Amino acid sequence: VDRVAHLFTRVLPMPLPHNHPQKATQCFWERDMTRETQAEILQSMRMLSWHFAASAMALTTTSAFDAARTLTFGCMAAISDAVLRVQACDVPSALSMHYSGKAAGPVHPFGFELSSDFSTLSETMLFVDPYYAIARTQILEYFTQLNKVLREDHVIFRFDKEMKLGEGDMNLMSQLCVQMGFEHTAHCGSYITGELPELLQSYPELATFRDIVF
């Protein structure tokens, strides 16, 4: 647990906000990457999130540990969001193009909200490492700036509010299904869960991203 927390709060650089003036040149995650690399990063993030969650839930919670656990998941979410928005330099993923709002046509970017409780609850968390305070600031800045450009009907995976398909989820699935020629009118939820495997087989990074955000 400590090694994963160290990796995300100290070693891996956090993505810069979308409107940062030097994002294109200074953000580590904005570098050219192939689709294979993009998918591999997201899959590695998924596995780390699974192992970290299982290990963290098996330990006795203290104030300091709760802060480290929360910040680590926040860093995972921010990095995963930034990686999924990258347009691969070889064969761009349709999921990435639609998610980032770069696909052809009148489209808008999608994204997810950081829990509304994160900012409030993290104000009083016990940060025993100064890097935790830095990580909190970077997480809040990244998602605050991102949420300013998201339309209400393009916010996905609102698991903290309700455990059912939202308008943003349906809009993203509809766009992907139209491009792929899949039936989508009544099956959007089944595509996300994998009950209908066609979409996840074409874009396995969708399942990866879903699990990380959850």
pTM of the model: 0.89
Please name the residue that has the structure tokens 């509809």.
174
Q: Can you give the pLDDT at residue 210?
A: 85
User: What are 41-60's pLDDT values in tens digits?
Assistant: 998 998 999 999 999 888 88
Most distant CA pair in the chain, distance: 52
The Cα 67–Cα 30 span in angstroms is: 28
User: Quick check: 13 pLDDT over 90?
Assistant: yes
Q: pLDDT-based confidence at 166, cuts 50/70/90?
A: confident
Chain Cα centroid distance, residue 181: 26
Q: Can you give the pLDDT at residue 187?
A: 75
User: Quick check: 163 pLDDT over 90?
Assistant: no
**Mean pLDDT, residues 181-194:** 80
User: Quick check: 153 pLDDT over 70?
Assistant: yes
In sequence order, which ranges of 123-203 are alpha helices (DSSP H)?
A: 130-147, 167-180, 188-193, 198-202
User: What are 67-124's pLDDT values in tens digits?
Assistant: 898 899 999 999 999 999 999 998 899 999 999 999 888 889 999 887 667 878 888 8
